[in-house]
Amino acid sequence: MQKITPFLWFNDNAEEAVNFYMSVFKNSEIKAVARYGDKGPGPKGSVMTIEFELNGHPFIALNGGPMFKFTEAISFVVDCETQEEIDEKWDKLISGGGQPSMCGWLKDKYGLSWQIVPPILGQLLSKESKKSAKVMEAMLKMSKIDIATLKQAYEQA
């Protein structure tokens, strides 16, 4: 059983964000919803927290107000085996106002940072060599990761 659960603080759109994330990741579901009561601080009956799973991993989202924002200092890494999976996850997470960054990173429309990467990237970079240096050079030019370009850089080094 997992003993650490990511807890995501939203202003007032946790339910919308959870539904968005559930549309991106298979095997996802809402487990429980707690609502604010008479004592607030949110409006009575509005969502306070949502316990949910993305691809079987537990999360909790809170409508906590505008005091805190997400930063790139925390991100979620999504391992994608194929280019098609990278393209699908990237396109869905960037939709509706997300922002691409570098080296497989993006920020979704809620400000949460994601790394959409293939496991082969770590393998190609794992040994200090001319080949891994070429892979790094190729990756630093990318926004969304392109597996074929990484493999080509490795092979041509």
pLDDT tens-digit readout, 71-118: 999 999 999 999 999 999 999 999 999 999 999 999 999 999 999 999
C-alpha–C-alpha distance, residues 148 and 120, integer Å: 11
What is the arithmetic mean of pLDDT over 3-15?
A: 96
In tens, the pLDDT along 115-128 reads 999 999 999 998 77
pLDDT at 1: 67
C-alpha–C-alpha distance, residues 15 and 119, integer Å: 31
Query: Against a cut of 0.85, is the pTM above it?
Result: yes
Give 59's DSSP letter: E
pLDDT at 81: 96
C-alpha–C-alpha distance, residues 144 and 88, integer Å: 11
Calculate ∠ Cα 81-110-5, nearest 5°: 65
CA dihedral 23, 29, 31, 34 (to 10 degrees): 20
Domains in the chain, start-ordered, CATH in brackets? 1-68 (3.30.720.100), 70-157 (3.10.180.10)
C-alpha–C-alpha distance, residues 68 and 66, integer Å: 6
